[in-house]
Structure 1
Amino acid sequence: MNPRNCRIDHLVTSGTFSLDGGTWDVDNNVWIVGDEREAIVIDAAHDAQAIEAALDGRTLRAIVCTHAHNDHIDAAPALAAATGAPILLHPDDLPLWKQTHPGRAPDGELADGQELEVAGTRLRVLHTPGHAPGAVCLHAPELSTVFTGDTLFQGGPGATGRSFSHFPTIIDSIRGRLLTLPPRTVVRTGHGDPTTIGDESDHLQEWIQRGH
């Protein structure tokens, strides 16, 4: 299938993020990658019905979790039940997953270097720990895009001040796995506006100094 038929749909859902005894209101980006027949969902956040409606009858091939903070996975089991799609998660994030869904395990594992395919388009899994141990990004070179979850945002790395996170590790992940991508690569994030690898690479030293 021609990858030019593949498109990226964007949905914003709202809910709460809870960790370490705190709860915050958040808006999450849900990314749907596919064509008119099939798709994958990246981060099933908050509202399974809204995500299913955005699929518009397409076959859902997988629900991919960039990490297992509750705001990125809370709607995943309901969406899986409605569509029959498997939930995929890096195994290093199972402790976080179990905090939200103790009675429901993911259906499959994500591994560094693994390739997913939808609508003739490849998405390569990049293990990028730091925000969470099992955090991953998905690089779609044919779409000049990387989906970064909460690893890289417009203006800097994801938060590392809570359990299971580590600032030097996220900097290593961003430097070694993301800033090596082509500068024009569009960064589609877990929250907020997109950016590009080129725009963010200029600020690496500022982030490092800010984090110490």
Structure 2
Amino acid sequence: MQKLKNVKYDGLLKTNEAIYDLITLGTALEQAIEGDSKSFNMNYIDWRNPSRNRFHVTAEYSVERSRSTETARPDIVLFVNGIPFCVIECKAPQVEVEFGFIVDYANVLGELDKALTMYSAFEGFDESDLVGTLTAINSEIEKLPGRYSDLWDLFKTVKHFYDEEAYELLLADESLREEFYDRLSDFGKTLGIALSCEKFLTEVDGKILSR
């Protein structure tokens, strides 16, 4: 665990890549057996047998900030074998949200949807109910162009891009306006996820983002 904990910081992207490699591939360790030094590979996560892992959830887990004595207290943190994998932000009852989901930013969770059925908090749920609870960020980013096109497809009858009056007349139709809100919401959620990914920000042309 110390090897995983003490990964040297080398920028956000490279540091995360190093941690990703350790979590997915494991690490080589040495052990002395009857005077002979033997090496073996230790895996932090059993990817083939999710039931052999230990899953924990904690509320308001205190995390010390880098280069500071102050602490942050995420609402909920999910651990796999003692490794923090996910942070969940809770909303007050009066805050309306359509749904929530967990995003796998490192693409390391694989098929852990199935493993969630073993956690006591999900008793009473069928496995099919939990499909999509874990979402890889790359899968969400791939949806972005399609959701952008779907949004603008509603306005394909508008001949001039800056014709505000034409947009207003079109959205006067209540059913079309509701469809616009739904598509805009879907696009906004996906864009928000994409913008939280450093790889997306560094690889996508800034001119495309400014659109």
**How would you bin the TM-score normalised by the shorter chain?**
under 0.3
Q: Which has the higher contact order (CA 8 A, sep 6+)?
A: 1
The TM-score, its normalising length taken from structure 1, stands at 0.24
Greater strand content: 1
The TM-score, its normalising length taken from structure 2, stands at 0.24
